[in-house]
Amino acid sequence: MSKFILLSFLLAATCQNNAPQSGSDFTDLHQCWKKSWGEGQGTESVYRPCSYEVQASRGIDGFTFSADGKMVRNTFGPADAPLHIDGTWTVKDSVLIMKTLDGTYEPFPMKIKELRKDKLVLEVVD
């Protein structure tokens, strides 16, 4: 039995998939993220911690996720003025579901493709 546990651990440790699985600890998500405009491709968007140096472009776009399920959508409003919208978030089957409290945005699901302390990759879910 202990050999099976050790083998399972070694296989998991060598896996290169950085996408969280159901039941995962989403501690790395609990921070402020801003969009890294030059890194995303197609339907994927790359976000970096707000403290991360990214090329300034197109204003603010990102999120702040708290461990208690609260979030703030950081975006730009009229005349590119910063706009902060309160909401909630949950994760089910590696899909991040965000809802704004005031209904500004419809609930929008995003597949978590990669989650690390310094990088979050989200993909639009149809």
pLDDT digits (tens, 9 = 90+) for 53-71: 866 666 678 999 999 999 9
Pinpoint the alpha helices (H) of 1-107: 2-14
* Residue 50 backbone zone (phi > 0: left; psi -120 to 50: alpha; other: beta): alpha
Do 120 and 114 meet the contact criterion of CB atoms below 8 Å apart?
yes
What was the pLDDT predicted at 24?
60
| Residue whose structure tokens are 């790395």 | 28
Model confidence at 37, pLDDT cuts 50, 70, 90, reads confident
Q: How far is CA 30 from CA 26, 34, 38, 69, 108, in A?
A: 7, 13, 23, 9, 18
**φ and ψ at 83, to 5 degrees?**
-135, 125
What was the pLDDT predicted at 76?
84
Listed residue (20, 26, 38) closest to 71, CA to CA: 26
Structural domains in the chain plus CATH codes: 19-124 (2.40.128.280)
